Amino acid sequence: MGGTDKALIPLAGRPLIAHILDRLEPQVERVLISANGDPERFSALGCPVVADAEPQGPLSGVLSALTAAAGMGATHVVSTPVDTPFLPGDLVPQLLLAAEGSPEGLAMASDATGDHPATALWPVGLAPALATFLAEGQAKVTRFTLAHQAARAMFPDPRAFLNLNTPEDLAAAEALLKGAA
Protein backbone atom coordinates (compact mmCIF):
# COMPACT_ATOMS: atom_id res chain seq x y z
CA MET A 1 0.00 0.00 0.00
CA GLY A 2 2.95 2.28 -0.67
CA GLY A 3 4.18 2.55 2.92
CA THR A 4 0.93 4.12 4.12
CA ASP A 5 -0.18 3.36 7.68
CA LYS A 6 -2.63 0.55 6.89
CA ALA A 7 -4.68 1.20 10.01
CA LEU A 8 -5.65 4.62 8.67
CA ILE A 9 -6.35 3.69 5.04
CA PRO A 10 -10.00 4.48 4.30
CA LEU A 11 -12.43 1.72 3.42
CA ALA A 12 -16.00 2.86 2.79
CA GLY A 13 -15.09 6.27 4.18
CA ARG A 14 -13.68 4.95 7.47
CA PRO A 15 -10.18 3.87 8.47
CA LEU A 16 -9.49 0.13 8.34
CA ILE A 17 -8.95 0.05 12.10
CA ALA A 18 -12.53 1.28 12.63
CA HIS A 19 -13.80 -1.80 10.78
CA ILE A 20 -11.68 -4.06 13.01
CA LEU A 21 -13.00 -2.34 16.13
CA ASP A 22 -16.58 -2.75 14.89
CA ARG A 23 -15.98 -6.50 14.63
CA LEU A 24 -13.99 -7.02 17.82
CA GLU A 25 -15.49 -4.67 20.41
CA PRO A 26 -18.77 -6.64 20.80
CA GLN A 27 -16.74 -9.81 21.38
CA VAL A 28 -14.14 -8.71 23.93
CA GLU A 29 -13.96 -6.92 27.25
CA ARG A 30 -11.51 -4.27 26.01
CA VAL A 31 -9.29 -3.53 23.03
CA LEU A 32 -5.59 -2.73 22.97
CA ILE A 33 -3.95 -1.47 19.82
CA SER A 34 -0.49 -2.84 19.16
CA ALA A 35 1.34 -0.23 17.11
CA ASN A 36 4.72 1.40 16.86
CA GLY A 37 5.18 5.07 16.05
CA ASP A 38 3.15 7.97 17.35
CA PRO A 39 0.28 6.56 19.46
CA GLU A 40 -1.59 9.87 19.15
CA ARG A 41 -2.78 8.87 15.68
CA PHE A 42 -5.19 6.48 17.44
CA SER A 43 -6.27 8.77 20.29
CA ALA A 44 -9.76 9.32 18.86
CA LEU A 45 -10.44 5.57 19.11
CA GLY A 46 -10.24 5.53 22.90
CA CYS A 47 -8.11 2.37 23.10
CA PRO A 48 -4.75 2.06 24.85
CA VAL A 49 -1.82 1.69 22.45
CA VAL A 50 1.08 -0.62 23.26
CA ALA A 51 4.35 -0.53 21.34
CA ASP A 52 6.82 -3.35 20.79
CA ALA A 53 9.68 -3.50 23.28
CA GLU A 54 11.89 -4.76 20.44
CA PRO A 55 10.19 -4.77 17.02
CA GLN A 56 10.63 -8.16 15.34
CA GLY A 57 7.34 -8.44 13.51
CA PRO A 58 3.83 -9.42 14.56
CA LEU A 59 4.92 -11.63 17.45
CA SER A 60 6.57 -8.63 19.13
CA GLY A 61 3.18 -6.94 19.14
CA VAL A 62 1.57 -10.06 20.56
CA LEU A 63 4.16 -10.15 23.35
CA SER A 64 3.59 -6.48 24.19
CA ALA A 65 -0.17 -7.08 24.24
CA LEU A 66 0.21 -10.17 26.46
CA THR A 67 2.34 -8.21 28.90
CA ALA A 68 -0.10 -5.30 28.99
CA ALA A 69 -3.11 -7.60 29.27
CA ALA A 70 -1.57 -9.52 32.17
CA GLY A 71 -1.13 -6.20 33.98
CA MET A 72 -4.85 -5.54 33.46
CA GLY A 73 -5.83 -8.92 34.89
CA ALA A 74 -6.78 -10.44 31.54
CA THR A 75 -6.27 -14.13 30.85
CA HIS A 76 -6.16 -13.99 27.04
CA VAL A 77 -5.45 -11.72 24.10
CA VAL A 78 -7.03 -11.99 20.66
CA SER A 79 -4.81 -10.77 17.85
CA THR A 80 -5.77 -9.87 14.34
CA PRO A 81 -4.13 -7.95 11.52
CA VAL A 82 -5.50 -4.46 10.94
CA ASP A 83 -6.08 -5.21 7.25
CA THR A 84 -8.75 -7.91 7.73
CA PRO A 85 -11.99 -5.89 7.90
CA PHE A 86 -14.42 -8.80 7.45
CA LEU A 87 -13.67 -10.76 10.64
CA PRO A 88 -16.45 -13.12 11.75
CA GLY A 89 -18.94 -11.94 14.34
CA ASP A 90 -18.25 -15.13 16.30
CA LEU A 91 -14.45 -15.02 16.04
CA VAL A 92 -13.72 -14.89 19.77
CA PRO A 93 -16.26 -17.52 20.89
CA GLN A 94 -15.01 -19.91 18.21
CA LEU A 95 -11.36 -19.32 19.18
CA LEU A 96 -12.21 -19.91 22.85
CA LEU A 97 -14.02 -23.13 21.99
CA ALA A 98 -11.11 -24.36 19.86
CA ALA A 99 -8.59 -23.44 22.57
CA GLU A 100 -10.19 -26.01 24.85
CA GLY A 101 -8.56 -28.63 22.61
CA SER A 102 -5.07 -27.15 22.84
CA PRO A 103 -2.73 -28.23 25.64
CA GLU A 104 -1.54 -24.63 26.07
CA GLY A 105 -4.85 -22.91 25.31
CA LEU A 106 -3.64 -21.35 22.05
CA ALA A 107 -6.01 -21.24 19.07
CA MET A 108 -5.83 -19.73 15.59
CA ALA A 109 -8.35 -19.05 12.86
CA SER A 110 -8.48 -21.38 9.89
CA ASP A 111 -10.64 -21.85 6.81
CA ALA A 112 -10.65 -23.85 3.59
CA THR A 113 -7.74 -21.76 2.25
CA GLY A 114 -5.49 -22.51 5.25
CA ASP A 115 -4.45 -21.21 8.64
CA HIS A 116 -4.49 -17.57 9.73
CA PRO A 117 -2.09 -17.67 12.70
CA ALA A 118 -2.01 -13.87 13.11
CA THR A 119 -5.71 -14.11 14.00
CA ALA A 120 -5.46 -16.04 17.22
CA LEU A 121 -6.32 -16.41 20.89
CA TRP A 122 -3.21 -16.19 23.08
CA PRO A 123 -3.22 -17.12 26.78
CA VAL A 124 -1.19 -14.57 28.77
CA GLY A 125 0.69 -17.51 30.30
CA LEU A 126 2.49 -17.96 26.97
CA ALA A 127 4.32 -14.63 27.36
CA PRO A 128 7.54 -16.14 28.81
CA ALA A 129 7.74 -18.78 26.06
CA LEU A 130 7.09 -16.13 23.42
CA ALA A 131 9.76 -13.83 24.93
CA THR A 132 12.28 -16.68 24.80
CA PHE A 133 11.29 -17.51 21.22
CA LEU A 134 11.86 -13.90 20.14
CA ALA A 135 15.12 -13.63 22.14
CA GLU A 136 16.39 -16.64 20.18
CA GLY A 137 15.89 -14.66 16.97
CA GLN A 138 12.74 -16.50 15.98
CA ALA A 139 9.89 -14.40 14.61
CA LYS A 140 7.66 -16.64 12.46
CA VAL A 141 4.12 -16.71 13.81
CA THR A 142 3.43 -20.10 12.23
CA ARG A 143 6.52 -21.66 13.79
CA PHE A 144 5.46 -20.50 17.26
CA THR A 145 1.81 -21.54 16.90
CA LEU A 146 2.76 -24.99 15.61
CA ALA A 147 5.40 -25.49 18.33
CA HIS A 148 2.78 -24.67 20.95
CA GLN A 149 0.12 -26.93 19.43
CA ALA A 150 -2.36 -24.24 18.51
CA ALA A 151 -5.83 -25.55 17.93
CA ARG A 152 -7.68 -24.47 14.80
CA ALA A 153 -11.02 -22.72 14.88
CA MET A 154 -12.57 -23.46 11.50
CA PHE A 155 -14.58 -20.76 9.76
CA PRO A 156 -16.70 -21.37 6.65
CA ASP A 157 -16.16 -18.07 4.81
CA PRO A 158 -12.57 -17.40 3.65
CA ARG A 159 -13.52 -13.78 2.91
CA ALA A 160 -13.57 -13.27 6.68
CA PHE A 161 -9.76 -13.26 6.69
CA LEU A 162 -9.23 -11.42 3.42
CA ASN A 163 -6.07 -9.33 3.79
CA LEU A 164 -5.98 -5.97 2.05
CA ASN A 165 -2.41 -5.73 0.80
CA THR A 166 -2.81 -3.91 -2.52
CA PRO A 167 -4.97 -1.14 -3.99
CA GLU A 168 -6.76 -3.91 -5.92
CA ASP A 169 -7.57 -5.71 -2.65
CA LEU A 170 -8.92 -2.45 -1.26
CA ALA A 171 -11.11 -1.96 -4.34
CA ALA A 172 -12.42 -5.54 -4.03
CA ALA A 173 -13.26 -4.89 -0.36
CA GLU A 174 -15.11 -1.71 -1.33
CA ALA A 175 -17.11 -3.74 -3.87
CA LEU A 176 -17.91 -6.39 -1.24
CA LEU A 177 -19.17 -3.72 1.14
CA LYS A 178 -21.30 -2.10 -1.54
CA GLY A 179 -22.76 -5.50 -2.41
CA ALA A 180 -23.68 -6.02 1.25
CA ALA A 181 -25.46 -2.66 1.53
161 pLDDT above the threshold of 80: yes
Chain segment 104-135, per-residue pLDDT in tens: 999 999 999 999 999 999 999 999 999 999 99
For residues 2 and 16, what is the distance between their CA atoms, to the nearest angstrom? 16
Q: Report if pTM > 0.75.
A: yes
99 pLDDT above the threshold of 60: yes
Per-residue model confidence (pLDDT) at position 180: 64
Chain segment 1-58, per-residue pLDDT in tens: 666 889 999 999 999 999 999 999 999 999 999 999 999 999 999 999 999 988 889 9
39 within 8 A of 8, measured Cβ to Cβ: no
Residues 6 or more apart whose CB falls under 8 angstroms from that of 69 comprise 32, 76, 77, 124
* Of 80, 107, 94, residue with least CA distance to 22: 80
Domains of the chain: 6-180 (3.90.550.10)
More confident residue, 180 or 66: 66
Question: Do strands 107-111 and 76-79 pair parallel, antiparallel, or not at all (unpaired)?
Answer: unpaired
Average pLDDT of the residues of the chain: 94
